[in-house]
Structure 1
Amino acid sequence: MNKLAPYLNRVAVALPMLALLLVMSSCSRYNANGGLATWGYVLLALDILAMIDVFRQPWSIGKKLLWAAIIFFFPLGGLIIYYLFAGRGKA
C-alpha cells in the first residue's frame, strides 16, 4: 500500500477525467460543417502543452518519443495516462 500512496492523488484527479473521456468519446470531434468543435480546440491545446512538457523532460529520446506517440494517437486518453504515469515531481 505504501507504494501506491503517491498515485492516490493522481487517481482522484483522473477519475473525473476518465468519466469526461467516456462522455466525449461518444460525441463527434467535428461540427456538421467539418470544423473542429469547441472541445476539439481545447483538446488540441492540451495536447500541444503535453507535447512541450514531454520534450522538456530530462529523459532519453526514446522515452520522449514513446510518450509523444501515446499522446498523439490517444489524445484525451494519452493526456490522462501521461498525467498519471509520467513520473512528475521525482527529483
Structure 2
Amino acid sequence: MATSCSRYNNSGSLAIWGYVLLALDVLALLDVFRQPWDIGKKILWAAIIFFFPLGGLIIYYLFAGRGK
C-alpha cells in the first residue's frame, strides 16, 4: 500500500501526480521570491516548500499573505 501512494512509478520515473506536484512547487517557489519580504523570510518559506512538498504547499497557501 505504501508503494501505491508513491510519487514514482515502478520504473523509478515520476508518476503523473508527481509532475503536477513538481510544477506546483516550482510555482510556489517563484511566488515566494516575488514577495516583498526580507531574504530570511523568503529562505524560510522556500525551505518549507522544498523539504515538505505537499504539506509546504498547503501551509504556504493558508498562511503566507493571501490577504492581498
- TM-score by structure 1 length? 0.69
**Residue equivalent to 2:7:** 29
Q: Percent same amino acid among aligned pairs?
A: 86
Alignment of 1:56-67 (within 5 A): 56-67=34-45
**Residue equivalent to 1:84:** 62
Instruction: Find the aligned partners of 2:34 and 2:64 in 1 and give their Cα distance.
Output: 12
Out of 70, 77, 83, the residue aligned to residue 48 of structure 2 is: 70
- Alignment of 1:42 with 2:20, yes or no, is yes
Root-mean-square deviation (CA), in Å?
1.1
Query: Which ranges in structure 1 are unaligned for 5 or more consecutive residues?
Result: 1-25
User: How far off its partner does 1:87 sit?
Assistant: 1.5
Paired residue type of 2:38: S
**Residue equivalent to 1:53:** 31
